[in-house]
């Protein structure tokens, strides 16, 4: 059987793509729309994904017959020649079969508008960079994430200080009271996401959080239609250490929040343990634009569900200087000409 | 009670008589040399200079040489001497007094009214430095002369630009010091030369630029509770145990002087404000 998958319109045979606003599948040629069940009805069952399939190095586009060479982790892509979407089934099979997916909510056109607004606000970005016509390169990608659940238990032991000061005669008195403060507690964490792709910058992926998990559904390859997708190349054990670090900080902060009424509180000792750790491999939607400028990559990422933006632009020092100069002159004018009314 | 009032009256009468006698004994009004360190000729010379200062700058000038300050500090004695002997020109009794206190070997310059603004702390300390030298060598006339010539030159310069006690501009018109309310233009001109504005503007511009440059990437909007299961947080132990306390004390350093551009001011027993400063010789 074929290792690549394409969902076709039952009316005209063209490729179907997932349409974020309606949540349906749409044929861009005859404009027919199909529900999930209708798309599924004319494709073979996905049970076969449970079994790890043999990895191939090249694929043939089902639409035009061209040979596709996909990047090692790319799991859904487009044919370079006919732009037909192609899902590489092997890369969603076996241990790479995701458990859940949050479908895209934003369309590419909406994201283009978001990008325009965002880039206009980057006052220090060089004009050359701003005017680059890169906007069409924005791509919707299902990014692989590990979603961790765990229980956590923690204790913090520290010293709190209450300081009061008063003056008497020529002296200022400072009284410091020392307290030993202990807090112990437990909590459960659900679906802590950890970026499972080495290609995508962890820092940026962390910044586009949070996702709303109400939209999280069981994985189906159908959602991949019309988008790019990546498979994980960060093992769950590796991701678990990242998750642990985050969660340990969460519970520590949470316990610390319950310490009130002190001028300062220093944690001297802490014990934190995590248990019942489980993970789900899931695909979460992002829009990505990788903009090269003077040999450096500048990334723009939008959360494909909520529209939260993170990104990075080059900085024009000339613009910074001009801006600082303007502020300087402005403050000076206001203080001299305005200030003269008051002195 | 009745006795007390009589006593007070007696003291009053006696001091008045003494006052009248001493004023009568001294020929000069503005150079009070109770120890006869100065010759009549020298007193005359000083009086003449004082008269020109009075005429040109509307500032009264008094020189007092004593060896008994009635138990008062040099500052208090100088202030009181000026206030209770009717010195001062104009509504604010502008003028200054140099007290040479031979008992304490101290010199004190007390300023009143407009003189407080002209003779800033740093100017007074310059004047005192110029006086202390000749005084320690017993050259009283030279000390007095130095005091008068400094007074003259500072009065001519007027209120320093960065002086912060006044809001007027001192101008000399027809050789007379006149107080003129500054125009808006003059205020702007003086602010243009006010250096701290440049520093503040520079700091604000750098800080805003840095802040705007930093915020360009994006923010982390999740927190410690984002992924917490609802109502799953349980506190099992809350201990706040008092251990010990410490109390420390530090001496408060009260700032006693103004900076280079300021005049420190105090209030004399008469209720008038005085500036001034002094030194030992």
Segment B10-25 mean pLDDT: 50
Residue B30 in tokens: 């503005």
Lowest mean pLDDT among B113-127, B182-196, B238-252: B182-196
Instruction: Considering only residues A128 and A196, tell me which one the structure prediction assigns the higher pLDDT.
Output: A196
Distance from CA of A174 to the nearest CA of B (A): 5
State ipTM.
0.74
Residues of B in Cβ contact (< 8 Å) with A255 = 235
DSSP at A15: B
Residue A283 in tokens: 């695909």
What does the alpha-carbon distance between residue B77 and residue A286 come to, in Å, rounded to a whole number?
84
What does the alpha-carbon distance between residue A182 and residue B253 come to, in Å, rounded to a whole number?
40
Residue B5 binned pLDDT confidence (cut-offs 50, 70, 90)? low
Given an 8 Å threshold on Cβ–Cβ distance, is A336 in contact with B220? no
Distance from CA of B88 to the nearest CA of A (A): 28
Given an 8 Å threshold on Cβ–Cβ distance, is A206 in contact with B229? no
The tally of CA atoms less than 13 A away on the side-chain side of residue A285 is: 30
**pLDDT tens by residue, A243-265:** 999 999 999 999 999 999 999 99
Q: Is B207 on the interface with A (CB under 8 A)?
A: no
pTM above 0.80, yes or no: no
Percent of chain A with pLDDT over 90: 36
Residue B186 binned pLDDT confidence (cut-offs 50, 70, 90)? confident
Q: Is B174 on the interface with A (CB under 8 A)?
A: no
Lowest mean pLDDT among A36-45, A119-128, A317-326, B12-21: B12-21
| Residue in B201, B234, B245 closest to A176 by CB | B245
Placement of tokens 């310069």 in the chain: B157
Given an 8 Å threshold on Cβ–Cβ distance, is A207 in contact with B218? yes
Mean pLDDT of chain A: 85
Would you state the pLDDT for residue A91? 81
Percent of chain B with pLDDT over 70: 79
Under 8 Å CB-to-CB from B64, ≥6 apart: which residues?
B32, B34, B78, B81, B97, B98, B99, B100
Strands (E), chain A: 4-5, 16-19, 24-27, 33-34, 59-60, 67-68, 74-78, 85-88, 100-101, 139-168, 171-195, 217-218, 228-230, 264-293, 296-303, 309-311
Interface test with B, best of A166, A263, A273, A331 (most B CBs within 10 A): A331
pLDDT at A118 over 90: no
Would you state the pLDDT for residue B250? 87
Given an 8 Å threshold on Cβ–Cβ distance, is B242 in contact with A179? yes
Segment A279-298 mean pLDDT: 88
Mean pLDDT of chain B: 79
Nearest CA in chain A to B167: A343
Q: Is B232 on the interface with A (CB under 8 A)?
A: yes
Furthest-apart CA atoms within chain A: distance in Å: 95
Nearest CA in chain A to B202: A328
Q: Are A204 and A177 in contact (CB under 8 A)?
A: no
Distance from CA of A329 to the nearest CA of B (A): 8
**pLDDT tens by residue, B130-169:** 888 888 888 899 999 999 999 988 888 887 766 655 444 4
Peptide bond into A302 cis (omega under 30): no
Residue A305 binned pLDDT confidence (cut-offs 50, 70, 90)? very high
For residue B62, give the nearest of B189, B148, B164, B181 by alpha carbon.
B148
CA B3 to chain centre: 42
Would you state the pLDDT for residue B27? 54
């Amino acid at each position: 059987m074929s290792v690549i998958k394409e969902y076709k319109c039952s009316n005209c045979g063209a490729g179907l793509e997932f349409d974020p606003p309606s949540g349906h599948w749409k044929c861009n040629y005859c404009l027919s729309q199909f529900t999930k069940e209708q798309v599924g009805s004319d494709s073979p069952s996905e049970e076969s994904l449970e079994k790890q399939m043999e990895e191939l190095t090249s694929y043939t586009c089902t639409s035009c017959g061209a040979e596709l060479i996909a990047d090692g982790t790319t799991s859904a892509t487009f044919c370079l020649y006919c732009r037909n979407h192609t899902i590489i089934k092997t890369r969603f099979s076996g241990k790479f079969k995701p458990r859940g997916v949050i479908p895209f909510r934003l369309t590419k056109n909406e994201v283009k508008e978001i990008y325009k607004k965002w880039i206009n606000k980057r006052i220090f970005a060089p004009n050359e960079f701003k005017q680059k016509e890169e906007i069409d390169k924005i791509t919707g990608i299902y990014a692989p994430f590990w979603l961790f659940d765990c229980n956590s238990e923690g204790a913090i032991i520290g010293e709190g200080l209450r300081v009061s000061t008063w003056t008497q005669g020529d002296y200022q008195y400072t009284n410091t009271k020392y307290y030993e403060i202990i807090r112990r507690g437990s909590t459960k964490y659900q679906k802590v996401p950890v970026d499972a792709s080495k290609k995508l910058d962890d820092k940026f992926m962390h910044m586009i959080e949070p996702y709303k998990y109400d939209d999280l559904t069981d994985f189906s390859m159908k959602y991949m239609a019309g988008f790019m997708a990546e498979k994980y190349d960060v093992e769950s054990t590796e991701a678990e250490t990242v998750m642990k670090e985050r969660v340990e900080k969460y519970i520590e902060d949470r316990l610390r929040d319950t310490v009130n009424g002190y001028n300062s509180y220093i944690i001297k000792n802490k014990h934190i343990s995590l248990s019942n750790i489980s993970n789900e491999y899931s695909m979460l939607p992002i829009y990505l634009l990788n903009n090269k400028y003077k040999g450096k990559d500048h990334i723009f990422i939008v959360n494909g569900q909520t529209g939260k933006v993170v990104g990075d632009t080059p900085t024009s020092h000339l613009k910074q200087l001009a801006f600082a100069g303007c502020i300087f002159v402005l403050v000076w004018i206001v203080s001299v000409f305005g200030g003269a009314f008051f002195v | 009670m009745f006795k007390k009032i009589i006593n007070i009256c007696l003291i009053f009468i006696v001091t008045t008589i003494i006052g009248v006698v001493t004023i009568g004994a001294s020929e000069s009004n503005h150079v009070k040399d109770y120890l006869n360190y100065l010759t009549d000729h020298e007193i005359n010379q000083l009086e003449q200079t004082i008269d020109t200062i009075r005429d040109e700058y509307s500032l009264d000038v008094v020189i007092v040489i004593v060896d008994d300050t009635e138990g008062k500090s040099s500052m208090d004695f100088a202030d009181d001497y000026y206030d209770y002997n009717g010195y001062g020109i104009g509504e604010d009794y502008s003028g200054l007094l140099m007290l040479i206190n031979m008992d304490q070997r101290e010199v004190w310059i007390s300023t009143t009214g407009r003189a407080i603004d002209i003779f800033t702390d740093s100017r007074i300390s310059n004047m005192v430095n110029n006086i202390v030298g000749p005084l320690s060598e017993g050259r009283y006339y030279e000390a007095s002369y130095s005091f008068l010539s400094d007074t003259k030159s500072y009065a001519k310069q007027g209120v320093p630009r960065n002086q912060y006690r006044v809001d007027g501009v001192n101008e000399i018109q027809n050789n007379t010091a006149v107080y003129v309310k500054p125009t808006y233009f003059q205020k702007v001109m003086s602010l243009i030369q006010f250096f701290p504005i440049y520093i503040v503007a520079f700091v604000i511009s750098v800080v805003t630029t840095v802040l705007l440059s930093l915020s360009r990437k994006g923010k982390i909007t999740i927190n410690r509770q984002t992924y917490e299961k609802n109502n799953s947080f349980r506190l099992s132990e809350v201990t706040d145990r008092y251990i010990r306390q410490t109390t420390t004390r530090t001496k408060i350093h009260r700032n006693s002087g103004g900076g280079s551009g300021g005049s420190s001011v105090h209030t004399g027993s008469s209720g008038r404000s005085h500036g001034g400063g002094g030194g030992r010789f």
